[in-house]
Amino acid sequence: MSHKRVAILISGGGSNMLSLVDSMIGGHAGRPCLVLSNDPEAGGLAKAAERGIKTASVDHRPFGKDRSAFEAELLKPLLASQPDIVCLAGFMRVLTGDFVSRFQGRILNIHPSLLPKYKGLNTHARAIEAGDSEHGCTVHEVTAALDDGPVLGQARVEVKAGDTPEELAARVLVQEHKLYPEVLRRYCMGNNDPVLLP
């Protein structure tokens, strides 16, 4: 059985990356082929290497505002890993339309809100400020528009009275670690039917 090759892009600790990697075992149709970061110090790189997964990093900082130049470098290890699917997992750089178009229809992202609500940053604080009773996370296909592509899965979390953004974020992250692996498992088998976790 030839597995789908899955490349995972991270910027930080990589807890979502680990939930994906640890799920791609046994009968799963995917296998990780690369963990790539825009930060050479990202904690997730060492965790991936411990699991025997190829890692690479391209520091975005020397490129300043020149996203195309940064992406040209980022594409070198990424294309060399020949991914069938690309997963953004806590990857905090906004990608250009040119970059995304190379992987159109096979690049996913997890976002910590119930899209289309709260695209962008500080999603937990914004949900609390708005007085929302529920919040959550979304896995979607990536398009040129930020946090905007077709939804492949959502998980809901109750917002509790007195919640701080940190407390809410921690409960959402637990759901992220369930939702993303389930969506990827199906996606690797060609099933894009949305997953809705309670």
Reference 113, options 167, 57, 56, 168; nearest CA is: 168
Q: In the set 24, 110, 152, 168, which binds ligand GRF (CB under 6 A)?
A: 110
The three-state secondary structure class of 109 is strand
Residue with token string 């708005």: 130
Based on its alpha-carbon atoms, the radius of gyration of the chain, rounded to whole angstroms, reads 16
16 touches ligand GRF (CB under 6 A): yes
CB of 173 to ligand GRF, least distance (A): 5
Calpha distance 163→133 (Å, rounded): 11
Stretch touching ligand GRF by CB under 6 A, among 7-15, 22-30, 51-59, 143-151: 7-15
Q: Which of 28, 60, 111, 135 is labelled catalytic?
A: 111
149 touches ligand GRF (CB under 6 A): no
147 touches ligand GRF (CB under 6 A): no
Q: Quick one: CA dihedral 51, 166, 96, 114, positive or negative? A: positive
Calpha distance 121→135 (Å, rounded): 14
Name residues contacting ligand GRF, limited to 17-36 (CB under 6 A).
Answer: 17
CB of 2 to ligand GRF, least distance (A): 28
Task: Tell me whether residue 140 is one of the annotated catalytic residues.
Answer: no
Q: What residues act catalytically?
A: 111
Q: Footprint of ligand GRF on this chain (CB under 6 A)?
A: 10, 12-17, 89-90, 110-112, 173, 176
